[in-house]
């Protein structure tokens, strides 16, 4: 069985690999039967001319370094940026949001899922500069060896498929504070 620790619901406008094409993907669409039960979004306004840290209500921490936002022309964005974050970190949130844990029909084990979207002050979609990526920390009680990060693609019926698996980078090592 394949395993996943932080499947990203959709990287939406955050394209960690390339910024040639911007495709705005909403968290849901009008036909989605789960649109009324999906986990609620949280909204944050950042100043892109400096580094920012956002903490979600359920404990996800996202660090946005200065220079991480790019516009559709690949230019660094300064000024106000609006962040939309939705955290699905428990089974009920995942079920009510129709966040199945499968990749091309194969089961995944998850430690949590996030929806993340960034737009400029005028509402234009943004991407992440691959040379200055964001750092995401998801509070999970169990992290299994070999877990991966996935990009989520939702079809018109609301079904989720997790694609493009990649290894998660570990920057911090947990140490018991009492030692």
Summarize the confidence of residues 116-126 as an average pLDDT.
92
pLDDT value at residue 40:
92
Summarize the confidence of residues 22-29 as an average pLDDT.
56
Q: Is the model's pLDDT at 137 over the cut of 90? A: no
Q: Summarize pLDDT for 47-86 with one digit per residue, the tens.
A: 999 999 999 999 999 999 999 999 999 999 999 999 999 9
Q: How far is Cα 157 from Cα 98, in angstroms, rounded to an integer?
A: 10
Secondary structure (DSSP) of 160-177? EEEEEEEEPP-------T
Give residue 42's pLDDT band: very low, low, confident or very high (50, 70, 90): very high
Per the model's pLDDT, the better-predicted residue between 17 and 128 turns out to be: 128
Q: Is the model's pLDDT at 95 over the cut of 80? A: yes
Which two three-digit tokens encode residue 74? 């690949």
pLDDT value at residue 1:
39
């Amino acid at each position: 069985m394949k395993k996943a620790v932080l499947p990203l619901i959709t990287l939406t406008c955050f394209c960690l690999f390339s910024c040639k094409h911007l495709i705005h993907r909403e968290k849901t669409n009008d036909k989605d039967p789960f649109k009324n039960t999906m986990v609620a979004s949280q909204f944050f306004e950042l100043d892109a001319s400096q580094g920012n840290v956002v903490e979600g209500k359920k404990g996800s921490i996202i660090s946005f370094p200065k220079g991480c936002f790019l516009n559709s022309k690949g230019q660094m964005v300064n000024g106000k940026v609006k962040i939309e974050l939705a955290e699905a970190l428990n089974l009920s949130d995942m079920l009510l949001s129709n966040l199945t844990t499968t990749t091309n029909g194969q089961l995944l084990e998850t430690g949590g899922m996030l929806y993340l979207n960034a737009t400029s002050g005028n509402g234009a979609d943004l991407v992440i500069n691959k040379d200055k990526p964001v750092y995401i920390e998801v509070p999970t009680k169990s992290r299994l060896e070999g877990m991966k990060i996935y990009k989520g693609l939702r079809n018109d019926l609301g079904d989720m498929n997790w694609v493009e698996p990649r290894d998660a980078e570990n920057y911090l090592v947990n140490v018991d504070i009492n030692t």
